[in-house]
């Protein structure tokens, strides 16, 4: 049995990839957690220093807070821009999985044994496969052959799966 996904690697696809990647990461690596840590690092020491006048502290606090709020958007935008600058941006990708291997045509093309993928994360709208140095988002709406249940069964047999649906 072969399960086949087909999608266009466009802005919407890569925005979803970035969103799903950070949602499945440990809490410390969530973008909001990182923004809070940066805010603490930027403002904590300043608030403890007594030699700085109140106006300078307020200005620094406002700038650090604005940066912390913008941090998540800036990181998402930067990562998506990285994908956008690739020659494969906007091209069609086909991902076919069976019990033995994964075959990708288009961006990231190749034949991969299941052993290269370390884990899978199930979201309500797709599956995220991770391997060292790469991730692969398989949106449910991109299924052209097979069913979501069949895809999940193959993935479950090959690697640990986490459910965030």
CA 100 to each of CA 2, 12, 97, 159, 164: distance values in angstroms, whole numbers, following the listed order: 10, 30, 8, 13, 26
What pLDDT does residue 66 have? 93
- Does one domain contain both 31 and 71? yes
Provide DSSP, 38-92: HHHHHHHHHHH-SSS-HHHHHHHHHHHHHHHHHHHHHHHHHHHHHHHTSTTTT-E
- Does one domain contain both 99 and 72? no
| Alpha-carbon gap, residue 36 to 42, rounded angstroms | 10
What pLDDT does residue 46 have? 81
- Does one domain contain both 103 and 50? no
- Does one domain contain both 22 and 57? yes
> Tell me: the pLDDT tens digits for 23-49?
998 888 898 999 999 999 988 888 788
What pLDDT does residue 44 have? 86
| Alpha-carbon gap, residue 141 to 161, rounded angstroms | 20
> Tell me: the pLDDT tens digits for 39-88?
999 888 887 887 888 888 889 899 999 999 999 999 989 998 998 898 88
> Which CATH number do you get for residue 131?
2.30.29
Last residue of a domain, one of 32, 60, 84: 84
Q: Report the SS3 class of residue 140.
A: helix
- Does one domain contain both 76 and 96? no
- Does one domain contain both 40 and 104? no
- Does one domain contain both 77 and 108? no
How many domains, the chain? Answer: 2
- Does one domain contain both 68 and 105? no
Structural domain including 118 reads: 3-9+91-163
């Amino acid at each position: 049995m072969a399960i086949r996904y087909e999608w266009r690697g466009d802005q919407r696809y890569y925005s979803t990839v970035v969103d799903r990647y950070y949602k499945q990461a440990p809490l410390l690596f969530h973008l909001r957690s990182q923004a809070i840590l940066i805010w603490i690092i930027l403002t904590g020491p300043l608030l403890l220093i007594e030699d700085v006048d109140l106006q300078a502290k307020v200005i620094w606090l406002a700038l650090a807070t604005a940066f912390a709020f913008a941090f998540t958007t800036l990181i998402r935008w930067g990562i998506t821009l990285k994908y956008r600058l690739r020659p494969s941006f906007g091209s069609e990708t086909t991902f076919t999985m069976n019990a033995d291997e994964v075959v990708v045509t288009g961006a990231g093309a190749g034949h991969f044994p299941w052993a290269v993928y370390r884990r899978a994360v199930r979201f309500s709208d797709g599956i995220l496969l991770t391997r060292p140095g790469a991730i692969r988002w398989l949106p449910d709406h991109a299924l052209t052959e097979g069913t979501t249940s069949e895809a999940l069964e193959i993935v479950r047999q090959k690697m640990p799966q986490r459910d965030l649906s």
